């Protein structure tokens, strides 16, 4: 259970990164699958070459930011669609990741890293996810943070204020992929290896965690979106665990993930529909009451 909780905290960091593009910027960024693996590859290559663990983590964050920068430049400067920009960079990162490692996977069992120190792995993962949560929540309260949210909500209005929305998008993509790459680097250390295919399905997992968290806690005002996403990731990971314990195969992971997303999306749509009908009926009642008073 502690192992699943540790993995949930690490994946929650990745989901926080996906949240920036998926929810704030409304940008379907496929770079996530590549930048997650990029972080793992950089950390693994650094550790086997005796680079200090903290420097390797910093390098993984920088690598993710560069990946986001490349996606942003393709979209903003070359006018390539947002979806295609992410796909192109994701494809390039596959080859780059193999170049970084020199092979398709690297074991880390003999390397000193964050998760084989004297500190409990769940505490280490919790500290990192809390740092990312606090950082992003503070950033979103700054002028740049409000500009980032504004570009996602109403890009034309932000343009009319004289803000360069292209640069804001690039910043958002860099920040998102830097956080996702950090999660990849932590995952490699926790699992004890880095593999070139370990990022497959990253975007889907992040979206699933976001949908679960925001659907369950959207009516609770004092719970922030970031906190809801962290809890959503934990629920998702334990759902997968119990599904596999119940007889599902590991190869059914994508099927389970898709089913979870569909269920929570259906619940959300049902609630919106119900709320809409309630509003219409309430409007009719007020109309009848007004006529009666006349």
pLDDT tens, position by position, 43-68: 999 999 989 999 999 999 999 999 99
- φ/ψ of residue 164, rounded to 5: -80, 95
pLDDT band at 20 (very low <50, low <70, confident <90, very high): very high
Query: Residue 111 pLDDT > 90, yes or no?
Result: no
* CATH class of the domain whose range is 2-293: mainly alpha
Percent of the chain with pLDDT over 70: 91
- Indicate whether this model's pTM tops 0.85: yes
Question: What's the angle, vertex CA 221, arms to CA 220 and CA 224, rounded to 5?
Answer: 95
Say what the pLDDT of residue 174 is.
Answer: 97
pLDDT band at 133 (very low <50, low <70, confident <90, very high): very high
DSSP letter at 120 equals -
Residue range 149-157: mean pLDDT, rounded = 90
Annotated domain spans of the chain: 2-293
Residue range 130-142: mean pLDDT, rounded = 95
Question: What's the angle, vertex CA 24, arms to CA 20 and CA 27, rounded to 5?
Answer: 80
In this structure, the number of other CB atoms found within 10 A of the CB of residue 152 comes to 20
Say what the pLDDT of residue 293 is.
Answer: 53
pLDDT band at 270 (very low <50, low <70, confident <90, very high): low
Task: Give per-residue pLDDT as tens, 185-216.
Answer: 999 999 999 999 888 888 888 988 998 898 88
Instruction: Pinpoint the alpha helices (H) of 154-252.
Output: 155-160, 165-191, 202-217, 225-245
């Amino acid at each position: 259970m502690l192992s699943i909780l540790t993995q949930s905290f690490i994946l929650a960091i990745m989901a926080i990164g996906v949240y920036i593009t998926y929810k704030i910027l409304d940008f379907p960024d496929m770079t996530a699958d590549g930048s997650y693996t990029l972080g793992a590859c950089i950390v693994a290559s650094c550790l086997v070459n005796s680079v200090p663990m903290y420097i390797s983590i910093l390098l993984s964050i920088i690598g993710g930011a560069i990946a986001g920068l490349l996606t942003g430049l393709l979209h903003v400067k070359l006018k390539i669609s947002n979806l295609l920009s992410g796909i192109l960079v994701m494809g390039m990162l596959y080859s780059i990741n193999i170049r970084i490692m020199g092979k398709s996977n690297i074991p880390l069992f003999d390397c000193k890293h964050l998760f084989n120190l004297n500190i409990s792995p769940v505490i280490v993962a919790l500290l990192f996810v809390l740092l990312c949560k606090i950082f992003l929540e503070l950033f979103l309260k700054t002028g740049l943070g409000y500009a980032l949210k504004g570009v996602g909500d109403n890009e034309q209005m932000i343009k009319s204020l004289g803000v360069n929305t292209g640069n804001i998008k690039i910043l958002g993509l860099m920040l998102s992929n830097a956080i996702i790459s950090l999660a990849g680097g932590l995952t490699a250390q926790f699992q004890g290896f880095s593999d070139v295919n370990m990022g497959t399905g990253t975007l889907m997992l992040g979206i699933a965690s976001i949908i679960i968290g925001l659907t369950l806690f959207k009516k609770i005002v004092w719970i922030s979106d970031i906190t809801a996403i962290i809890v959503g990731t934990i629920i998702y990971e334990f759902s997968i665990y119990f599904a596999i314990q119940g007889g599902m195969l590991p190869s059914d992971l994508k099927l389970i993930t898709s089913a979870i997303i569909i269920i929570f999306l259906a619940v959300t749509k049902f609630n919106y529909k119900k709320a809409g009908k309630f509003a219409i009926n309430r409007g009719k009642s007020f109309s009848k009451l007004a006529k009666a008073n006349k």
